[in-house]
Amino acid sequence: MSETENTASFWDELTSPINLALVAVIVYLVYKIIQSKFERETEAAPPPPPMPKLRKDLTVAELKKYDGTQPDGRVLLAVNGVIFDVTRGKRFYGPGGPYAAFAGKDATRGLATGQVSGSEQEYDDVSDLTQEEQYSANEWEAQFREKYDIVGRLLKPGETPSKYSDDESEDKKEK
């Protein structure tokens, strides 16, 4: 075979449709790899600063405004009379989340009974829950205590709020 025939044969193989398609795929994949590395470096925005801790006792009416729809986006809910800041779990408890019905409300009854609906009563003392439901509510409260910050207590009608200082520990007030 002559050199001209070798060159022609090589060129024919290089420009065959399958080889051209494979070269195009390889070039595209290399482009996507390089592009993704540059995007990760430029798009990594710093996380938003944490919200200041909120320490106060609230009535049911005051709690309602913390449903995640306010400009600050804070989400609070109460379980067994303890108010938790669940803003970190906003994808679950905030607007559009599967448990959004609990946001800004006393969630004790709903969590204890397994019904995703917050209490609509002014104050729900949940004294009519069965022993099993009370146990479930206590389990939920324990989980929330491990995962979320305690804000304060849910006030019964006529009850006065406690005064919290910045250096006071949450555990001391909640025991």
pLDDT of residue 172: 45
The whole-number average pLDDT for the span 83-100 is 91
CATH architecture of 60-174: Roll (3.10)
Q: What is the pTM of this model?
A: 0.67
Report residue 122's pLDDT band, with 50, 70 and 90 as the boundaries. confident
Single-letter code of the amino acid located at 167: D
Q: Tell me the three state secondary structure of residue 19.
A: helix
> Tokens 């001209």, residue?
4
Q: What is the pLDDT of residue 11?
A: 67
Residue ranges covered by each domain of the chain = 3-43, 60-174
Q: What is the mean pLDDT of the chain?
A: 82
Lowest-pLDDT range of 5-9, 118-122, 144-148, 170-174: 170-174
Give alpha helix (H) positions in the chain: 3-14, 17-43, 60-63, 90-93, 108-113, 131-147, 170-174
How far from chain centre, in Å, is Cα 14? 53
More confident residue, 120 or 29: 29
Task: Provide the pairing of β-strand 149-153 with 82-85.
Answer: antiparallel
